[in-house]
């Protein structure tokens, strides 16, 4: 029954330890799921961000393609008619849109001529500045004529036909002369625009060759597309640059504050050389600028910059991030609440287990005391019988010598009775401990000193083996001394004649100390190593069988254990393992 209760108590202790681990395990599981959810959600958020970026790229690409195709259509309408501007006949088939485009081109060239005239009024036009204007405005030549039609300055040789036409213009008091949309071979004149100076004393002439006229046609066609198209609310700005980087058409305000480059995935748009990205900022508004090469007839003629507003996409991403963090936090909170609830439940369960342990321990103690009481009654019967027989002999009369012998027997039997009662009381008091941290080697030194005097007359040599003085253990000094003395005295009683007892002490691992008591006694019969700790089990003629039982109870109460190795005829080794103070 005692061993069954011991196993039952050990099972409950192990179960209570597992219950403390379960809440932590539940919290770790929820934490793991929260981390997995967070990781997968962030991956999905990255995919969603790529999807939004792809949508922005597709929109920007669509705008660039619209500009590219629509500008080519308008260019064809602009350059398809070869009639002279301002000299349209009644038979000319020209629609309003073509007329508007031609008018826009002529007005743009006239505006450039007026700026050149204004610069000449303020400081003249040097050769270097004329060449700079020709390069930036894509012109063939610039010339200045006086009020009589004479050529005052030219950046390049002028055809005689233009000089002749300018004399006619100056004599007729015309304000402008435009020769842009005629076929040059038929009329004998290259394309040019002439504007009378603001002072009225001369004129400025801008000459364009075929390539210059194509450039201005593309420029006017692109500007017309930018003005006519409705780009929607998501477009912040659009700009078209020529090959030299000069803006030839725009929509909206173009920011110049660069934040960072934007990494684009080329597989979404095809040719990676046709697209690059840039994050820009105007005030507090951020935009994603995507740039495409503008191609006509498979030839790059400029660049389209499309600025898309990112406030809506950023808001979508921010809302998704908030949801991810919210759900992750919610999962972790649920895990903590589940851990708390489980911990409270386990605490109540452990409290019930502890109460049950107390009741089982009390029942075990009562059962043990009942067994001990039966054993004590059995042991007391023998000395009482001896005393009774001695008393009967005293009644029948005896000699002095026999009286002394009988009185000696009575004293020995009374001493034996007293020892049995004392051992019984010691076993019943093993649950009362006063723990303190002390040096185990100091306790062993005291035990060694006590036993050396006791073992000497019995021809038993006691040896010690320990060097460290810093091994400290939390223990009840008196109880542990009693346990070790019981084991050592049991070893002394197993030695008949001369013998040796060796006491050693050493640490085992990082958290236990090992005390070994090795004797050269008669040993323990095989199969009885575990029974020697049962109360009243003994192989000695006059033994009570409580010494090792008391020692075992004391060691177990200290959280330790006793191991036994024995060989009949060669001796036994008792090892006491105690936990170290951490």
pLDDT, tens only, 200-229: 778 889 998 888 888 998 999 999 898 888
Last residue of a domain, one of 309, 342, 373: 309
Q: Is the pLDDT of residue 37 over 70?
A: yes
The predicted-structure confidence for 145-170, as pLDDT tens digits, reads as follows 888 888 888 888 888 888 888 888 88
Task: Give the model's pLDDT for residue 545.
Answer: 65
Q: Is the pLDDT of residue 90 over 50?
A: no
Among the residue ranges 62-76, 227-241, 322-336, 353-367, the one predicted with the least confidence is: 353-367
Please compute, for residue 100, the number of CA atoms within 13 A of its CA located in the half-sphere on the CB side: 10
Nearest residue to 56 (alpha-carbon basis) of 271, 290, 387: 290
Tell me which H or E stretch contains 382. Answer: helix 311-396
Last residue of a domain, one of 244, 276, 309: 309
- φ/ψ (deg, to 5) at 546: -110, -15
Q: What number of other Cβ atoms are within 10 A of residue 461's Cβ?
A: 14
Task: Give the model's pLDDT for residue 518.
Answer: 92
The predicted-structure confidence for 173-185, as pLDDT tens digits, reads as follows 788 888 887 654 4
Q: For the residues 73-89, what does the mean pLDDT come to?
A: 60
Q: What number of other Cβ atoms are within 10 A of residue 116's Cβ?
A: 23
User: Same domain for 241 and 212?
Assistant: no
Number of domains in the chain: 3
Alpha carbon distance 521, 450 (integer Å)? 20
Higher pLDDT, 384 or 509: 509
- Residue 41 is assigned to a structural domain of this protein: no
User: CA 158, 160, 163, 169: dihedral to nearest 10 degrees?
Assistant: -130
C-alpha to C-alpha distances, 83 to 93, 179, 209, 430, 511, nearest whole angstrom: 10, 9, 17, 126, 107
Domain containing 183 equals 125-216
User: Same domain for 478 and 572?
Assistant: yes
Tokens of 504: 């050693």
Cβ-contact 177, 165 below 8 angstroms: yes
Last residue of a domain, one of 151, 183, 216: 216
Cβ-contact 203, 142 below 8 angstroms: no
Q: Is the pLDDT of residue 571 over 50?
A: yes
- φ/ψ (deg, to 5) at 303: -135, 140
pLDDT range class, residue 578, cuts 50, 70, 90: very high
Cβ-contact 363, 526 below 8 angstroms: no
Task: Give the model's pLDDT for residue 404.
Answer: 74
- φ/ψ (deg, to 5) at 516: -110, 135
- Residue 257 is assigned to a structural domain of this protein: yes
Alpha carbon distance 194, 87 (integer Å)? 16
pLDDT range class, residue 425, cuts 50, 70, 90: low
Q: Is the pLDDT of residue 520 over 60?
A: yes
Q: What is the CATH number of the domain that holds 198?
A: 3.30.450.190
- φ/ψ (deg, to 5) at 578: -125, 145
Alpha carbon distance 57, 65 (integer Å)? 12
- Residue 74 is assigned to a structural domain of this protein: no
User: Same domain for 573 and 436?
Assistant: yes
Higher pLDDT, 26 or 133: 133
Q: Counting beta carbons within 10 angstroms of the beta carbon of residue 453, is it exposed (0 to 12), middle (13 to 18) or buried (19 or more)?
A: exposed
- Residue 119 is assigned to a structural domain of this protein: no
Task: Give the model's pLDDT for residue 82.
Answer: 42
Alpha carbon distance 52, 50 (integer Å)? 5
The predicted-structure confidence for 397-417, as pLDDT tens digits, reads as follows 667 777 777 777 677 667 767
Cβ-contact 382, 419 below 8 angstroms: no
The three-class DSSP label of residue 189 is coil
Task: Give the model's pLDDT for residue 262.
Answer: 54
Q: For the residues 453-463, what does the mean pLDDT come to?
A: 83
3-state DSSP helix/strand/coil % of the chain, to nearest 5: 55, 20, 25
- Residue 5 is assigned to a structural domain of this protein: no
């Amino acid at each position: 029954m005692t061993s069954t209760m011991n196993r039952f108590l050990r099972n409950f202790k192990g179960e209570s330890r597992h219950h403390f681990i379960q809440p932590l395990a539940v919290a770790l599981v929820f934490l793991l799921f929260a981390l997995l959810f967070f990781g997968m959600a962030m991956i999905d958020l990255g995919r969603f961000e790529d999807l939004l970026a792809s949508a922005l790229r597709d929109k920007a690409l669509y705008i660039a393609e619209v500009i590219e195709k629509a500008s080519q259509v308008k260019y064809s309408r602009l350059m398809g008619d070869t009639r002279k501007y301002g000299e349209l006949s009644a038979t000319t088939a020209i629609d309003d849109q073509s007329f508007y485009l031609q008018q826009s081109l002529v007005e743009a060239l006239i505006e450039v001529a007026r700026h050149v005239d204004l610069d000449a009024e303020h400081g003249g036009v040097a050769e270097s500045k004329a060449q700079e204007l020709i390069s930036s405005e894509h012109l063939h030549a610039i010339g200045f004529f006086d009020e009589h039609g004479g050529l005052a300055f030219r950046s390049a040789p002028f055809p005689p036909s233009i000089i002749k036409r300018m004399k006619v213009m100056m004599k007729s008091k015309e304000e402008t002369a435009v020769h842009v949309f005629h076929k040059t071979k038929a009329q004998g004149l290259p394309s040019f625009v002439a504007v009378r100076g603001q002072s009225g004393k001369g004129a400025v002439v801008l000459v364009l060759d075929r390539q210059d006229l194509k450039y201005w046609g593309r420029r006017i066609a692109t500007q017309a597309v930018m003005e006519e198209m409705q780009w929607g609310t998501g477009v912040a700005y659009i700009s078209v640059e020529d090959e030299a980087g000069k803006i030839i058409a725009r929509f909206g305000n173009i920011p110049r504050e660069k934040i960072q480059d934007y990494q684009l995935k080329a597989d979404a748009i095809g040719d990676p050389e046709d697209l690059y990205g840039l994050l820009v900022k105007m005030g507090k508004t951020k935009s994603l600028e995507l740039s495409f090469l503008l191609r006509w007839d498979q030839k790059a003629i400029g660049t389209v910059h499309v600025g898309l507003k990112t406030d809506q996409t950023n808001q979508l991403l921010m809302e998704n991030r908030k949801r991810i963090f919210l759900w992750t936090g919610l999962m972790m909170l649920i895990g903590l609440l589940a851990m708390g609830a489980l911990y409270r439940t386990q605490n109540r369960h452990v409290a019930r287990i502890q109460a049950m342990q107390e009741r089982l321990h009390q029942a075990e103690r009562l059962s043990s005391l009942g067994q001990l009481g039966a054993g004590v009654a059995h042991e007391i019967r023998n000395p009482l019988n001896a005393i009774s027989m001695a008393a009967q002999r005293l009644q029948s009369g005896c000699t002095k010598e026999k009286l002394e012998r009988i009185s000696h027997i009575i004293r020995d039997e009374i001493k034996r009775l007293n020892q049995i009662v004392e051992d019984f009381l010691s076993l019943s008091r093993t649950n009362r401990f006063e723990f303190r941290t002390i040096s185990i080697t100091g306790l062993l030194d005291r035990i060694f000193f006590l036993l050396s005097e006791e073992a000497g007359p019995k021809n038993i040599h006691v040896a010690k083996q320990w060097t460290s003085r810093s091994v400290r253990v939390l223990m009840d000094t008196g109880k542990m001394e009693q346990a070790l003395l019981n084991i050592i005295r049991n070893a002394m009683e197993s030695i008949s004649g001369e013998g040796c007892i060796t006491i050693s002490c050493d640490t085992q691992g990082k958290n236990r100390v090992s005390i070994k008591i090795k004797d050269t006694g008669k040993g323990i019969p095989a199969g009885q190593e575990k029974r020697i700790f049962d109360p009243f089990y003994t192989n000695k003629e006059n033994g009570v069988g409580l010494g090792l039982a008391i020692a075992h109870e004391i060691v177990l109460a200290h959280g330790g254990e006793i191991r036994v190795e024995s060989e009949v005829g060669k001796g036994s080794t008792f090892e006491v393992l105690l936990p170290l103070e951490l």
